[in-house]
């Protein structure tokens, strides 16, 4: 039986297929009856060169095409032409039907996307999905930041209120300390006034007998005792005042020390947080996986990095087809 089939020629990993007519009993690369054309399925062009008249001749003679050759003949319109010829159509009708068939096929091929277009569409869809996930993460981070800022603001307000209360208490304590000083000053002023009045009275009074002098001397002694008592009170008040001032100075020094300690603690906490953030950023850059990158970035990283250093880069959570394909190609070769 005569068959129309493919014959493999060319070299390793670069075949060239010939469309030949041969006996079914002859081997694949053996003797042939006639060479009808070429079929290229390696390059992106997928070119087919075929002698249409000789192919129709051998089909009329009863040659049976193989499955691959039959699909090639269908794509070239030869099988459709044979069908019209069997129905005894005229050449004009056959040409009109073939032109219409070719136009319909070209329209379908234009609508059908190529492999590159499909891969590009897949990459764009993956990038859109990845951008959505990044947007969600950014919104969550903004919300958490706003919460932290609100808490910090509330803490600062509470701290400011407590400081205001402490300041009010200190002012009240100071006002209480100053009140006895004013009272002591008033008392001293009264005593000085009384002493001046007595001296004026003694100067204005006329000279009398010894009895009168003795009577005057007795109240003078009483006034001296009163003056001594008042001076003792003044000394006591002054000592109390100095003690109060010393206590206030000690309190202010303690507060200054507390403030300095708080400032130092804040500086140390800030330095620790900066060190921790630096360590976290280093860990993030070192332990980055493909899911943390865009599809293009992940593919470029896989292509530009040795296989030994890519252990754990493509995780089980990676569901992007292009990244998985790039990883498989990297492992294979």
Segment 94-144, tens digit of pLDDT: 889 989 988 888 887 776 677 788 888 888 888 888 888 999 999 999 999
Domain finish residue from 63, 96, 114: 114
Do 34 and 151 lie in a common domain? no
Number of domains in the chain: 3
In this prediction, residues 45-52 reach a mean pLDDT of 84
Do 110 and 145 lie in a common domain? no
What integer pLDDT is reported at residue 219 of this predicted model? 44
Query: Strand ranges (DSSP E) for the chain?
Result: 2-11, 14-23, 34-39, 48-50, 64-65
159 vs 275, more confident: 159
Helices and strands in the chain: count of H runs, count of E runs: 8, 5
Do 249 and 125 lie in a common domain? yes
Of all residues in the chain, the percent with pLDDT exceeding 90 is 13
pLDDT in tens, 297-318: 888 888 888 888 877 788 877 8
What integer pLDDT is reported at residue 64 of this predicted model? 92
Please report which confidence band the pLDDT of residue 220 belongs to, taking 50, 70 and 90 as the band edges.
very low
Please report which confidence band the pLDDT of residue 207 belongs to, taking 50, 70 and 90 as the band edges.
very low
Mean pLDDT of the chain: 77
Any idea what the CATH number is for the domain that residue 26 is in? 3.30.1320.10
| 184/188 Cα distance (integer angstroms) | 6
Do 238 and 257 lie in a common domain? yes
Tokens 């090639």, located at residue? 72
Do 246 and 226 lie in a common domain? yes
Domain finish residue from 114, 141, 170: 114
List the domain range (segments joined by +) for residue 306: 290-332
Comparing CA positions, the residue from 60, 64, 40 lying closest to residue 52 is: 60
282 vs 56, more confident: 56
Do 40 and 95 lie in a common domain? yes
Q: Of 110-114, 252-256, 293-297, give the lowest mean pLDDT range.
A: 252-256
| 112/106 Cα distance (integer angstroms) | 10
198, pLDDT greater than 70: no
In total, the chain counts a number of residues equal to 333
Do 108 and 16 lie in a common domain? yes
Do 103 and 248 lie in a common domain? no
| 105/94 Cα distance (integer angstroms) | 16
Do 268 and 150 lie in a common domain? yes
Comparing CA positions, the residue from 56, 9, 54, 52 lying closest to residue 30 is: 9
Please report which confidence band the pLDDT of residue 216 belongs to, taking 50, 70 and 90 as the band edges.
very low
CA 320 to chain centre: 21
Do 27 and 132 lie in a common domain? no
Do 212 and 300 lie in a common domain? no
Please report which confidence band the pLDDT of residue 200 belongs to, taking 50, 70 and 90 as the band edges.
low
What integer pLDDT is reported at residue 20 of this predicted model? 93
175 vs 149, more confident: 149
Domain finish residue from 88, 114, 140: 114
């Amino acid at each position: 039986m005569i068959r129309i089939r493919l014959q493999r020629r060319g070299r390793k990993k670069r075949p060239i297929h010939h469309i030949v007519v041969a006996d079914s009993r002859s081997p694949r690369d053996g003797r042939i009856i006639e060479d009808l054309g070429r079929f290229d399925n390696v390059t992106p062009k997928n070119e087919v060169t075929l002698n249409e008249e000789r192919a129709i001749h051998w089909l009329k003679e009863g040659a049976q095409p193989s499955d691959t050759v039959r699909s090639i003949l269908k794509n070239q319109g030869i099988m459709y032409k044979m069908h019209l010829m069997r129905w005894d159509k005229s050449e004009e009708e056959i040409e009109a039907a073939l032109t219409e068939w070719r136009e319909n096929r070209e329209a379908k091929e234009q609508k059908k996307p190529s492999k590159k277009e499909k891969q590009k569409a897949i990459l764009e869809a993956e990038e859109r999905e990845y951008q959505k996930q990044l947007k969600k993460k950014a919104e969550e981070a903004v919300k958490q930041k706003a919460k932290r800022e609100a808490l910090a603001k509330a803490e600062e307000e509470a701290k400011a209120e407590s400081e205001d209360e402490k300041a009010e208490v200190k002012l009240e304590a100071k006002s209480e300390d100053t009140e006895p000083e004013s009272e002591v000053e008033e008392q001293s002023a009264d005593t000085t006034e009384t002493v001046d009045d007595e001296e004026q009275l003694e100067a204005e009074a006329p000279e009398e007998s010894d009895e009168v002098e003795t009577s005057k001397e007795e109240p003078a002694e009483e006034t001296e005792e009163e003056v001594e008592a008042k001076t003792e009170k003044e000394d006591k008040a002054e000592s109390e005042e100095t003690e109060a001032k010393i206590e206030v100075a000690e309190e202010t020094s303690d507060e200054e020390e507390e403030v300095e300690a708080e400032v130092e603690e804040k500086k140390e906490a800030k330095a620790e947080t900066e060190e921790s953030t630096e360590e976290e950023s280093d860990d993030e850059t070192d332990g980055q996986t493909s899911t943390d990158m865009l599809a293009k970035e992940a593919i470029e990283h896989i292509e530009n990095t040795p296989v030994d250093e890519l252990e754990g880069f493509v995780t089980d959570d990676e569901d992007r087809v292009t990244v998985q394909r790039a990883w498989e190609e990297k492992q294979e070769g």
